Amino acid sequence: MTHLPKFSASMLHPRFWLLWSGIGLLCLVVQLPYPLIYRLGCALGRIGMKVMKRRAHIAQRNLELSFPDLSPQERQQMLARNFESVGMGIMETGMAWFWSDKRIRRWTEVTGMDNTHMHLRQGKGILLIGIHFLTLELGARIFGMNIPGIGVYRPNDNPVLDWLQTRGRLRSNKTMIDRKDLKGMVRALKNGEVVWYAPDHDYGPKSSAFVPFFAVEQTATTLGTWMLAKMSQACLVPFVPRRKPDGKGYELIMLEGETSPPLESGEETAAWMNKVIERCILLAPEQYMWLHRRFKTRPEGSPSLY
């Protein structure tokens, strides 16, 4: 397993004091009543849209590329709601790290978990397909409260954030694995574990295939899903942590598991996986992480889409 970060006195160095102050403020804010947290998060996101101009441009461009049939007005409305979700994503990270189980259960409902339990009883490992929704941290906490699993993550370059995110995620899960540790993931899956895995970002040209994603015909898509599924024979289970409108809480939606995904080639699996991801995103498109340059990597000789 990955060597997990531990707290050390060096994290109290003055260069981290501003970060600690921000984390402390976030911890205090998320103790407020949830309807007030919701209003504050949305307001923070609206401010962020005006301040984070480059990220707003990236999100707008992603929406143009993915949903060309929407009118400019519809895309602008989705962009505004998406940035409200960005602000809420900060709050939800604090909620995931600092809320009690009791409080999370009060604001959450879960659907479709019985099928996941069934696959586990059959001795199948579960490759839990996590999509980069802005509710990601809270969704992982909610799932882990029902079925503790193993998270796949990229260690943060900042040691304080690395320790905090690991500590927060381990509140309801067993351990974490570095996303580069393919052998560790396969071993855990063969042992019947649940491994959280996100195949929806642009991870560069290495170990990727160019397959359709929404309206972009050639989108760099990781071959990791194909490798993990082929080597482990795990069941693939997508899930969506969706925020309800108007500050009414959350629903964790477990989709039907797939025990026989198409595995003839990495390209075939990647194209199939993108279709699954599309269905998940369409359950809450304004809550997806459109700020990421999803279409950054292009086939050789193709112009940049940004």
pLDDT score for 107: 97
pLDDT digit string, tens, across residues 160-174: 998 998 888 888 889
pLDDT score for 154: 83
Per-residue pLDDT averaged across 47-72, rounded? 96
Question: In this structure, is residue 298 part of a structural domain?
Answer: no
Q: What is the mean pLDDT of the chain?
A: 94
Question: In this structure, is residue 116 part of a structural domain?
Answer: yes
Burial readout 98-113 (b: 16 or more C-beta within 10 A, e: otherwise): bbeeeebeebbebeeb
Question: In this structure, is residue 222 part of a structural domain?
Answer: yes
pLDDT score for 151: 87
The model's pTM is: 0.92
The pLDDT of residue 229 is above 90: yes
Question: In this structure, is residue 53 part of a structural domain?
Answer: no
Q: How far is CA 45 from CA 5, 40, 132, 191, 205, in A?
A: 30, 9, 17, 42, 32
Other CB atoms within a 10 A radius of the CB of residue 183 amount to 10
Interatomic CA distance for residues 179 and 192, integer angstroms: 19
pLDDT score for 78: 97
Phi-psi group of 173: left, alpha or beta (phi > 0 → left; psi -120 to 50 → alpha; rest → beta): beta
pLDDT score for 168: 87
- Sign for the CA dihedral angle at 125, 131, 136, 137 comes to positive
The pLDDT of residue 206 is above 80: yes
Per-residue pLDDT averaged across 227-234, rounded? 95
The pLDDT of residue 46 is above 60: yes
pLDDT score for 246: 86
pLDDT score for 221: 97
Interatomic CA distance for residues 105 and 251, integer angstroms: 10
Tokens of 75: 């895309």
Answer yes or no: are the C-beta atoms of 261 and 269 closer than 8 Å: yes
- pLDDT band of 92, cuts 50, 70, 90: very high
How much of the chain exceeds pLDDT 70, in percent?
A: 99
Q: Which domain holds residue 221?
A: 106-287
pLDDT score for 185: 92
Q: Which of 177, 174, 265 is nearest to 225 (CA)?
A: 265
Question: In this structure, is residue 139 part of a structural domain?
Answer: yes
Per-residue pLDDT averaged across 142-171, rounded? 90
pLDDT score for 156: 86
Count up the domains in the chain and report the number: 1
The pLDDT of residue 6 is above 60: yes
Q: Which residues contact 92 (CB under 8 A, 6 or more apart)?
A: 41, 134, 135, 137, 138, 243
The pLDDT of residue 87 is above 60: yes
Question: In this structure, is residue 113 part of a structural domain?
Answer: yes
Question: In this structure, is residue 144 part of a structural domain?
Answer: yes
Question: In this structure, is residue 258 part of a structural domain?
Answer: yes
- pLDDT band of 2, cuts 50, 70, 90: low
Answer yes or no: are the C-beta atoms of 157 and 92 closer than 8 Å: no
Interatomic CA distance for residues 235 and 165, integer angstroms: 27
